[in-house]
């Protein structure tokens, strides 16, 4: 068996893993406070780990890695020399969130997604927020994922982002901030579900003991969210549309389709005929009502967006426009993925909901604004500068880790295209103990909870904790050496430990593809 990759697969360290020598340093540590005491809700786990026999935790870590390898939970790393599959590295020590804290986060997320949705709907209709001068028109029109083709479209109930993954971080001041919203094709939830599954096998009793909220009903909630997009159909045919096996998130597309019990299709399996969408089956054409599409807007329909796309379905947007098929997420949501638009989300919350934001943004300098640009150029060595339209953690400047030459290069870029850059203070991300070469060391984490918006808003308890495995690194993206941990949200009461029963789901054979 191949040596599995990940933290803790180090050379036969047989000694004891305890927290006795663990230091938080100046960062906020999720497990221990400044005096070294375990935080609320963490003590049970800490005590358990401290009393495990020698080598036991490492052994469990390795067993989990083997499980993940065997299950084939891999992803392809673009740009990696071997271009091969790797398991997404996993560390056995979970991140723990108290019930009290989660209630705050959940309320903040619901508020935020509600406002974002209203914004996107507004942007593609009357643009009141722009006419009222809250968001400058030029910023909107320069957002690369702004899709004029989506003007006037009316998805059911005015909901555009059915599935959102919002990235949160905790700074050294102990507060939780929103880093960014991902409302095109956010991924990672399959790791959340699989991580939980392997953790439960490893620590079967601790979940009940610590009252950890379950995540197992995500697929059913997702299915119901998707079904709600075709309210006039008794048994809508829901499918997941994937670019195919060479996409880095393919495993997740396949996993979610399987968990929901729906077909996984590629563009070439679908055809638009007489205005309706069909899939090619061994018995001819079958109608499709709802598509959970994991293909970016650009590639989804060569007749509407990029002409050279072979991944999409010609005529899909027409069918969508005429209400003959539902798409989740709706095309056009990428406008809010833009980091400059992100900076205005607190304003959106005030404008649409007349409320103060529960979860704050990270303070953001918009280089397009004259005074912001001046500040940024004067403080490049202290700030993190990001392109407003890319994802994946490439092409940023991390001020404190950069050379004078790199800063000069970025200064030039900023002056040339100020609209394309934002800057934020360097954040001191919180840390969670992680097994590194047989010891516990703190590693920086972020958190991506998932929010579904069907008939109402629902937030998955927990989400994906991504961890920067390289010492000192702040970059948690899977494509650049990050890994993940399980996330445990403690239940506030018994009702939060229940999962949704399979009740009103339609089981009639007519709707299910045979």
Partner 1 sequence: MLSRVADAVLWMARYVERAENLARFIDVTLNLQIDLPRPGAEQWAPLISATRGEAAFKKRYGGAVSERNVIEFLTFDRENPNSIISVLHAARENARSIRETISSEAWEQLNAFYHFVRNANPDDVHRSPGDFYQAIKNHSHLFNGVSDGTMSHGEGWHFLNVGRRLERADKTSRILDVKYFTLLPNVSDVGSPVDDLQWSAVLRSVSGFEMFRKRYHLITVERVVDFLVLDREFPRAIQHCLIQANISLHKISGSTPGAYVNPAEQLLGRLQSDLAYRDVRSIIDQGLHEFVDSLQTQLNQLGDAITQTFFDPQPAS
Binding site for partner 1 (CB under 8 A): 1-2, 70-72, 244-245, 254-255, 257-258, 263-266, 268-269, 271, 273, 279-285, 513-514
Minimum CB separation from partner 1 for residue 121, in Å?
33
State the burial class of residue 283 (Cβ atoms within 10 Å of its Cβ: 0-12, 13-18, 19+).
Answer: exposed
Minimum CB separation from partner 1 for residue 70, in Å?
5
Nearer to partner 1, 377 or 513 (CB): 513
User: What token pair was written down for 352?
Assistant: 């649409």
User: What token pair was written down for 313?
Assistant: 């379905």
- Assign 192 to helix, strand or coil: helix
Minimum CB separation from partner 1 for residue 191, in Å?
16
Q: How far apart are CA 80 and CA 74, in angstroms?
A: 14
Question: Which secondary-structure segment (H or E) carries 436?
Answer: strand 431-436
Cβ neighbours for 349, distance < 8 A, ≥ 6 positions apart: 111, 112, 115, 355, 356, 357
Question: Which secondary-structure segment (H or E) carries 110?
Answer: helix 99-123
Nearer to partner 1, 265 or 317 (CB): 265
Minimum CB separation from partner 1 for residue 190, in Å?
12
Minimum CB separation from partner 1 for residue 271, in Å?
7
Minimum CB separation from partner 1 for residue 256, in Å?
9
Sheet of 421-425, strand order: 365-366, 421-425, 383-387, 397-398
Please report the DSSP string for 118-151 in residue order. Answer: HHHHHHTTT-HHHHTTSS-HHHHHH-TT--GGGT
Minimum CB separation from partner 1 for residue 514, in Å?
7
- Assign 181 to helix, strand or coil: strand
Minimum CB separation from partner 1 for residue 373, in Å?
48
Matching residue, tokens 């007349």: 354
Nearer to partner 1, 180 or 252 (CB): 252
Please state, in angstroms and as integers, the Cα–Cα distance from residue 472 to each residue in 18, 114, 475, following that order: 21, 36, 9
How does DSSP classify residue 470? S
Cα Dmax for the chain: 69
């Amino acid at each position: 068996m191949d040596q599995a990759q990940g933290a803790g697969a180090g050379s036969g360290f047989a000694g004891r893993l305890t927290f006795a020598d663990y230091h938080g340093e100046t960062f906020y540590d999720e497990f221990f406070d400044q005096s070294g005491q375990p935080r609320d809700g963490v003590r049970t786990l800490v005590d358990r780990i401290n009393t495990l026999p020698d080598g036991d935790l490492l052994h469990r870590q390795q067993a989990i890695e083997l499980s993940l390898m065997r299950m084939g939970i891999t992803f392809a790393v673009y740009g990696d020399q071997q271009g091969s599959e790797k398991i997404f590295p996993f560390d056995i020590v979970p991140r723990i969130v108290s019930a009290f804290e989660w209630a705050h986060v959940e309320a903040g997320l619901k508020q935020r997604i509600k406002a974002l949705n209203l914004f996107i709907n507004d942007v593609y209709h009357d643009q009141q927020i722009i006419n009222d001068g809250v968001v400058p028109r030029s910023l909107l029109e320069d957002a690369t994922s702004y899709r004029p083709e989506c003007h006037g479209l009316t998805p059911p109930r005015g909901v555009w982002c059915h599935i959102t993954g919002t990235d949160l971080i905790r700074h050294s001041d102990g507060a939780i901030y929103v880093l960014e919203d991902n409302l095109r094709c956010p991924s990672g939830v399959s790791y959340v579900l699989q991580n939980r599954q392997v953790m439960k096998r490893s620590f079967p009793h601790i979940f009940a003991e610590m009252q950890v909220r379950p995540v197992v009903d995500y697929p059913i909630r997702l299915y119901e969210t998707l079904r709600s997009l075709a309210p006039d159909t008794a048994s809508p045919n829901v499918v997941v549309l994937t670019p195919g096996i060479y996409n880095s998130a393919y495993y997740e597309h396949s996993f979610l389709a399987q968990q929901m019990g729906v077909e996984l299709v590629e563009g070439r399996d679908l055809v638009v005929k007489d205005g309706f969408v069909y899939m090619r089956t061994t018995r001819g054409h079958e109608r499709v009502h709802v598509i959970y599409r994991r293909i970016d807007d650009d590639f989804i329909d060569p007749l509407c967006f990029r002409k050279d796309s072979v991944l999409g379905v010609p005529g899909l947007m027409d069918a969508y426009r005429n209400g003959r098929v539902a798409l989740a997420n709706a095309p056009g949501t990428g406008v809010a993925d833009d980091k400059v638009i992100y900076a205005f989300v607190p304003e959106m919350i005030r404008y649409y909901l007349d409320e103060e934001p529960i979860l704050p943004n990270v303070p953001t300098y918009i280089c397009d604004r004259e005074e912001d640009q001046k500040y940024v150029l004067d403080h490049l060595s202290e700030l993190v500068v990001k392109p407003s339209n890319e994802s994946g953690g490439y092409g940023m400047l991390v001020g404190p880790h950069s050379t004078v030459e790199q800063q000069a290069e970025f200064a030039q870029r900023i002056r040339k295209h100020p609209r394309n850059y934002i800057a934020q203070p360097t954040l001191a991300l919180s840390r969670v103990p992680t097994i590194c070469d047989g010891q516990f060391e703190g590693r920086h984490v972020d958190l991506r909870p998932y929010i579904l918006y069907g008939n109402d808003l629902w937030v998955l308890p927990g989400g994906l904790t991504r961890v920067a495995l390289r010492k000192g690194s702040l970059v948690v993206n899977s494509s650049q050496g990050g890994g993940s941990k399980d996330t445990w949200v403690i239940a506030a009461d018994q009702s939060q430990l229940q999962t949704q029963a399979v009740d009103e789901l339609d089981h009639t054979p007519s709707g299910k593809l045979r």
